[in-house]
Amino acid sequence: MTALLEVEGLKKHFPIHKGVFSKVSGQVYAVDGVSFSIGRGETLGLVGESGCGKSTVGRTLLKLLEPTDGTIKVGGEDITGLGAQAMLPYRRRMQMIYQDPYASLNPRMTAGEIVGEPLIVHNIGTPAERRERVAGLFERAGLRPEAANSYPHEFSGGQRQRIGIARALALNPELIVGDEPVSALDVSIQAQIINLLMELQDEFQLSYLFVAHDLAVVEHISHRVAVMYLGRIVEMTDKRSLFEMPLHPYTEALLSAVPIPKSSARGRKRVILTGDVPSPINPPPGCHFHARCPYAMPRCKTDVPALREVIPGHFASCHLHDGGVKVPLGAAA
Q: Let me know: does 27 contact 281? Beta carbons within 8 Å.
A: yes
Q: How far apart are CA 306 and CA 41, in angstroms?
A: 28
CB of 243 to another protein, least distance (A): 3
Could you give the 3-state DSSP secondary structure of residue 251? helix
* Contact assessment for residue 218 and residue 45, using Cβ atoms and an 8 Å cutoff: yes
For residue 48, the SS3 value is coil
Q: Which of 129, 154, 238, 322 touches another protein (CB under 8 A)?
A: 238
**Per CB under 8 A, which region of 64-72, 74-82, 133-141, 218-226 contacts another protein?**
218-226
Figure out which of the listed residues 258, 281, 306, 325 binds another protein, where binding follows CB under 8 A: 258
Q: Which is nearer to another protein, 48 or 116 (CB)?
A: 48
- 235 - beta bridge partners? 227, 316
Distance between CA atoms of residues 291 and 300, nearest Å: 9
Count of residues that interact with another protein, criterion CB under 8 A? 48
Is 243 a binding residue for another protein by CB under 8 A? The answer is yes
∠ CA 211-215-221, nearest 5°, is 65
- State yes or no: residue 190 binds another protein (CB under 8 A): yes
Question: Which of 61, 255 has the CB closer to another protein?
Answer: 255
Provide the minimum distance between the beta carbon of 246 and another protein in the complex, in angstroms, as a whole number: 11
Return the residues of window 107-166 that contact another protein according to CB under 8 A: 156, 158
- Of 212, 176, 194, nearest in space to 54 by CA: 212
38 counts as binding another protein under rule CB under 8 A: no
> Residue ranges of the alpha helices (H) in 147-186?
157-169
Amino acid (1-letter code) at residue 165 = I
Q: State in angstroms the smallest separation of the CB of 93 from another protein.
A: 24
Q: Could you tell me if 175 and 93 are in contact, meaning their C-beta atoms sit under 8 angstroms apart?
A: yes
How far is the C-alpha of 169 from the C-alpha of 171, rounded, in Å?
6
Tell me: does residue 216 bind another protein (CB under 8 A): yes
Q: Which stretch binds another protein (CB under 8 A): 2-10, 19-27, 160-168, 248-256?
A: 248-256
Cβ 61 to another protein, closest distance in Å? 23
Applying CB under 8 A, the span of 19-27, 113-121, 242-250, 295-303 interacting with another protein comes to: 242-250
Range in contact with another protein (rule: CB under 8 A) among 82-90, 128-136, 162-170, 264-272: 264-272
